[in-house]
Structure 1
């Protein structure tokens, strides 16, 4: 086992075409993800995935507050975008996309299970009050470096990458394996800048395959 792993962030039905919170062109990440899965498995690297896994009454849902989706407010004292109901536990929308090579995934990490707080990052909730099992798994398996892609660039990918860097991991981001919500124009571009500024290295899939061969 190499000391690097591929982390697929929230490649779920609800974030792809026809989903409750579809990210524009979200489906286009799947070919990139599958190519990286094959590349990683051929080199003995683990493939991991995070999965948004909300209870039906999650506090981040606009429906719980009688407000319009994408409106802004507070949830348990933290700034919150209120989303359409999405990735409800055990729903079709919460499942990983059927075109994703799921058989190659070594471990799956749920997030967003606490109805009182949202959880963009695959490592922590948004208040960093509770950790998922991801960091412990990585340390147990002596993983020091992550290659990250997924949905959405400006939320779950960005905060996963920033937390990974804070935890001391080396992080590579495959930019064409990500797509953003872009509530404000340029949110995804800014997210890539934030990730790079914090220490992540950005690659396209072609760049990665060429430089890492």
Structure 2
């Protein structure tokens, strides 16, 4: 697959807390970082996203007495999964993984999300209320981007919702499957089903690196 001048690579949440040893570790998270660096070298336009939570974030199980992480509650904007505390603003866990820094250093912008304590944010385009934009769509349009490639963590949440919103915002979306990792097989399967339904393409990194 050829990379066009109107393409951008979106590097989704490549942060310490989502890698081994982190507060919300995704199995194999750290091992994809060198691959993301190689991919970023092929793109003129790279944008990274970064979870950036306050301690009172609504999605933290610790803020709901008696609640357990990885259970779902209802909030004002609908269902919300509860998570362990992670990616606290200014913490080591919120920092980008050291092995991905060459890619982050190529980024034209870092889109921070999830900083509103009353609304979680998976997508790089919108908070979980599906109405509050992050500014990513406007940035990409200003850069002349028409197609986005996505890699990072986690495939079944932040990569998935960013890809879905990319399509809804009028961009072509391509998920680089082996440069992403999922939290759980069940939610990964749901993400793949969603990609097929919405026309999100899935490829292997070798397609771009050959």
Q: Same fold (TM over 0.5)?
A: yes
RMSD over aligned Cα, in angstroms?
A: 1.3
Give the match's secondary structure for 2:137. Answer: helix
- Return 5+ residue gaps in structure 1 as ranges: none
How far the C-alpha of 1:195 sits from its partner, in A, is 1.4
Superposition pairs of residues 28-43 of structure 1, within 5 angstroms: 28-40=31-43
Q: CA deviation at 1:208?
A: 2.9
1:13 equivalenced with 2:16 (yes/no): yes
Distance 1:115 1:168 in 2: 29
Show the counterpart of 2:105: 103
Number of matched pairs: 204
Matches of 1:28 and 1:139, distance apart in 2: 32
TM-score scaled by length of structure 1 = 0.92
How far 1:3 moved relative to its partner? 1.0
Shift of 1:118: 1.0
Q: CA deviation at 1:190?
A: 2.6
Q: Report the equivalent of 2:60.
A: 61
Is 1:186 the counterpart of 2:191? The answer is no
Q: Which runs of 5+ in 2 are unaligned?
A: none
The Cα shift of 1:136 comes to: 1.0
Q: Give the distance between the partners of 1:77 and 1:168, measured in 2 at CA.
A: 24
Partner in structure 2 of residue 204 of structure 1: 204
Aligned residues of 1:60 and 1:75 also touching (Cα < 8 A) = no
How far, CA to CA, are the matches of 2:36 and 2:134 in structure 1?
22
Displacement of 1:129: 2.3
Q: Which residue of 1 aligns with 2:50?
A: 51
Per mean C-alpha deviation after superposition, the further-off stretch among 188-197 and 117-126 is: 188-197
Alignment match, 1:131: 133
Moved more, 71-80 or 85-94: 71-80
Secondary structure at 2:99 match in 1: coil
Change (3 A) 1:189 1:32: farther
TM-score (norm 2): 0.93
1 CA distance for matches of 2:194 and 2:208? 20
